[in-house]
Structure 1
């Protein structure tokens, strides 16, 4: 089976990284290629290094309608059995191009949809209308959580056209023998300039307003001077966070790593993962923290909300307020003398293991393409 994944861009974002993980674990008989409409960044380089063919369309913007004929020609030339789109712009152009090229099976994954927000932007009447028009050109829309599926249903997408397949976490990458984990922890702390002792709080995600990382800066100001905050990711809010940290007097206690490919290594340096975002459609960072054996304090995680209460005893939901995070982090007193041994891996991590998720997606492909 020949499959083409069309994605808006391939910079380091959650949807792009998720696509990279899926391609590693999809069944061998499903040969996959990737086409980026624009911005073939770090994930494109990583995919090519792993042997995946990556095409670049070179679109100049959301309204570059002149790119559509070229996209349709490229889809037709590849003789694909299935086209799978990711993110809003790719969903619009990709589904239409697939139909123009004669591809009968078109899947789209909805990665980031809230009732009034899509991919961090407000949903206008025009945006919603275009989305629904494009959705009708597809075969199936994959929702990464029940919350996303419910929003699609509320928009009028028939339940029969929606398939629930969650995001996944590469659980195997976070399993470390105790000696290896201790050595990695010491190395990473030295690299980041973190004290060998002292409390290290971490956050994972793009530096955008929706992640609410300013809440963690304000919480850090209420903790002792030995505490540090490490934010793993990059984005347009970086300068604003640095200015806010300086105003709070904690700039020397904030570490911004930028985009990194070694997130499992970085998590060994942390004592707790904190996620104050209130606009998550899944909560992958929370799952990564749990896979690394960390206690987690979060404000929104649909992935955990959809599981039984005992699926992640190390995680606790708290309000997205500085006072709540300060209090919650102070309660973790054992972190002052935290040993590098991880907490037991909770059932939630196994439930969302990428191996299982990729198998479910591969089975969907087979079911849809089968005559």
Structure 2
């Protein structure tokens, strides 16, 4: 069996971290995870599922001791593949894999935008460091064609990029009225009030301030924001200034968003730029109507693949008006999961990732057979 070490910057409940947790149980490879920092909710969830999680204890971007610890872990584990996720982990993980002599090195690019990378501004230094790290690996997985195009514009050779879309387990988000009642009771939400939902990092790019502004015009409705991030205090101040603080609920990080999606009546995703749009697909799997600004996952499919999703031009007024129309007669009915959800099934994603591992290993000398014997 192929042995893989996934290296990720941290394991809070973000999109890339959630995606890694979703993918691992479906891979044919034997996987472990190393986190450079912050072994948060996803570390606990992975460990509960039987995945070994190694914490490197990195104390900052320039903590080179973590590089040595990571390379030592790779030598001890004699992994066949190192698979990195997120900017810092891609830099340190690919370099450590080279130092440890790992046969195959692959990265997944989850969060590259036109002018920001994982929330940080894309400077000349960031781009140079990114490209230097990319050259140490053999393949970069783009989670959508949009990401592949951005990588090409940066100068990553197209033959070193493979598009493997993110995947979801539709059953993990299925609507359950009992979960809805329990989640609303726990959060202090009225059972019959319309609830607008937002899911993601509380950062400026997600534009959750647009939803708080919309609440001024949605009397009796509540806003449920699921996620953590640096903008939480600013969003809370905005809610107070708008006079809607009582109707804006911040849930913080959640290892399992299904109860929260069950509690919502519509998902609103006003960001203008995304690399994939996983929250949109999860909401569609939960039967929610969705209003969104950007979702490459849906852009790549026929228009009838997600009839419950509506793309908006992007102005705050457009979002407010769309929400008012959708909630005019109370909470809308639940929808059946559309074809888009089945198209992005996580089992399909896992098959493509396993095939990539095998192809890279054939190209670069095969697995470490002595490792496989030692762990038989």
Instruction: Tell me if 1:250 matches 2:249.
Output: no
Q: 1:270 aligns with which of 264, 267, 275?
A: 264
2: CA distance between counterparts of 1:262 and 1:219?
A: 27
Q: Is the 8 A contact 2:41 2:255 kept in 1?
A: no
Q: Contact between 1:3 and 1:80, CA under 8 Å: does it hold in 2?
A: yes
Question: Cα offset for 1:115?
Answer: 2.5
For residues 292 and 35 of structure 2, the distance between their equivalents in structure 1, rounded to whole angstroms, comes to: 32
Q: CA deviation at 1:234?
A: 1.3
Matched, 1:151 2:146: no
- Runs (4+) of structure 1 moved beyond 4 Å? none
Q: Equivalences for 1:161-176 in 2 at 5 Å?
A: 161-176=160-175
Per-residue displacement from partner, 1:8-28 (whole Å, max 9, x unpaired)? Answer: 11111111111111111112x
Partner of 1:231: 225
What is the Cα deviation at residue 325 of structure 1? 1.2
Which residue of the other structure, out of 291, 294, 301, is the alignment partner of 1:300? 294
Residue 198 of structure 1 corresponds to which residue in structure 2?
193
**Cα distance between partner residues in 1 of 2:223 and 2:182:** 17
Q: Please give the per-residue CA displacement for 1:53-103, whole angstroms capped at 9, x wherever unaligned.
A: 111111111111233222212111111101000111111111111111111
Label 1:328 to 1:6 Cα distance change in 2 as closer, same or farther (>3 A). Answer: same
1:336 counterpart (312, 325, 330): 330
Report if aligned partners of 1:135, 1:141 keep a CA contact under 8 Å in 2: yes
Aligned to 1:8: 9
Q: TM-score, normalised by structure 1?
A: 0.94
1:34 Cα deviation (Å)?
0.7
In the TM superposition, what is the alpha-carbon distance from 1:45 to its structure 2 partner? 1.2
> How big is each residue's C-alpha offset from its partner over 1:159-189, in whole Å with a ceiling of 9 and x where there is no partner?
111010111122111235xxxx222222222
Aligned residues: 362
Encode CA deviations 1:226-257: one digit per residue, 9 max, x unaligned. 11111111112111111100100101111111
- Displacement after TM superposition at 1:334 (Å): 6.1
Deviations 1:194-252 (A, max 9, x none): 2222211111011111111010011110112x111111111121111111001001011
TM-score, structure 2 as length reference: 0.93
- Is 2:344 the counterpart of 1:352? yes
Checking the alignment, whether the CA contact within 8 Å between 1:280 and 1:302 is kept in structure 2 is yes
* Structure 2 SS opposite 1:336: coil
Partner residue of 1:221?
216
Alignment of 1:1-371 (within 5 A): 1-27=2-28, 30-176=29-175, 181-224=176-219, 226-333=220-327, 335-336=329-330, 338-339=332-333, 342-370=334-362, 371=366
